[in-house]
């Protein structure tokens, strides 16, 4: 059987590389992942490896060289940001290694 | 004089290592710096991260924030100014450094 990768393991492997974050609403972010929640990584990781369900836990992330994309009726508006702590509550999808909607 | 061991060293134990790049470390780094806080509603708060609150961390799963010299921005224009402001974490979309760390 192929080896399993837990969701949080995948994110952990992304540290240091570009990541594309798609939010629940019309908003997206790209940035270099510097780290994510201590609490999740240290405590819940153990818990999740037993339960095997990461989907219901928010993952707060620290990103660098960030571009925020807001999808409005008029089109896509992008904003550059420096080091940013992104709240994990509204995250829908993470795309490792991608530089976002302009590259995809 | 007698055989009693010397009292233990008074130096406190070193703080537990913080993973570099973690949210907790980010919050430590922005204390006293100017930050932009964007709420999920799209309203921005530009202010100085409160330097007197050192224990701010997001270990509780929230992003409660105290700011000094706060400006409220709606659609790019200043709509309000507050001396001190407390922002309840559930409304926060992100906290971004507005000056080099």
ipTM value of the model?
Answer: 0.82
Using one digit for the tens of pLDDT, what is the confidence trace for A16-25?
999 999 999 9
Q: Which residue of B has its CA nearest to A26?
A: B40
- Yes or no: say if B76 and B46 are a contact pair by the CB < 8 Å rule: no
Closest of A103, A93, A104, A97 to residue A21, by C-alpha: A93
- Report CB contact under 8 Å: A38, B59: yes
Instruction: Tell me which residue has tokens 């798609």.
Output: A22
pLDDT at position A52, please?
A: 57
Which of B26, B59, B90 is nearest residue A85 as measured by Cβ atoms?
B26
Q: Is residue B10 included in any domain, yes or no?
A: no
Instruction: Please check the confidence at residue B85 and state whether its pLDDT lies above 90.
Output: no
pLDDT at position B30, please?
A: 86
- Yes or no: say if B66 and B86 are a contact pair by the CB < 8 Å rule: yes
pTM of the model: 0.80
Q: Which residues is B42 bridged to in the sheet?
A: none
The count of structural domains within chain B is 1
pLDDT at position B56, please?
A: 46
Using one digit for the tens of pLDDT, what is the confidence trace for A53-78?
555 567 889 999 999 999 999 999 99
Assigned token pair, B47: 């202010």
Range of the domain at B55: 23-97
Q: Is residue B47 included in any domain, yes or no?
A: yes
Which is it for strands A84-86 and A75-81: parallel, antiparallel or unpaired? Answer: unpaired
pLDDT at position B68, please?
A: 87
pLDDT at position A30, please?
A: 97
Mean pLDDT, residues B54-59: 44
Domain at B58, CATH number: 2.30.30.100
- Report CB contact under 8 Å: A38, B24: yes
Closest of A52, A51, A82 to residue A65, by C-alpha: A82
Q: Is residue B52 included in any domain, yes or no?
A: yes
- Report CB contact under 8 Å: A84, B94: yes
Assigned token pair, A78: 């992008």
Domain ranges (residues) in chain A: 7-96
Using one digit for the tens of pLDDT, what is the confidence trace for B11-45?
666 555 555 788 888 888 888 889 999 999 989 99
Q: Is residue B5 included in any domain, yes or no?
A: no
- Higher-pLDDT residue of B47 and B59 is B47
Specify the CATH class of A7-96 in words: mainly beta
Q: Is residue B48 included in any domain, yes or no?
A: yes
Across all residues in chain A, what is the average pLDDT? 84
């Amino acid at each position: 059987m192929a080896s399993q990768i837990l969701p949080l393991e995948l994110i952990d492997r992304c540290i240091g590389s570009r990541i594309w974050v798609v939010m629940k609403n019309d908003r997206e972010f790209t940035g270099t992942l510097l780290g994510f929640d201590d609490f999740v990584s240290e405590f819940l990781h153990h818990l999740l490896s037993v339960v095997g369900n990461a989907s219901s836990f928010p993952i707060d992330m620290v990103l660098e060289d960030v571009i925020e994309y807001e999808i409005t009726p008029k089109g896509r508006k992008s904003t550059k940001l420096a080091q940013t702590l992104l709240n994990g509550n509204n995250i829908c999808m993470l795309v490792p290694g991608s530089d976002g909607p302009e590259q995809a | 004089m007698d055989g009693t061991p010397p009292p233990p060293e008074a130096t406190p134990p070193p703080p537990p290592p913080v993973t570099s790049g973690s949210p907790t470390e980010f919050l430590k780094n922005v204390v006293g710096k100017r930050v932009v806080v964007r709420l999920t509603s799209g309203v921005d708060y530009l202010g100085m991260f409160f330097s007197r609150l050192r224990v701010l961390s997001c270990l509780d799963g929230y992003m409660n924030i105290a700011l000094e010299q706060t400006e409220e921005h709606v659609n790019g224009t200043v709509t309000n100014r507050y001396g001190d402001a407390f922002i309840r974490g559930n409304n926060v979309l992100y906290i971004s450094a507005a000056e080099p760390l």
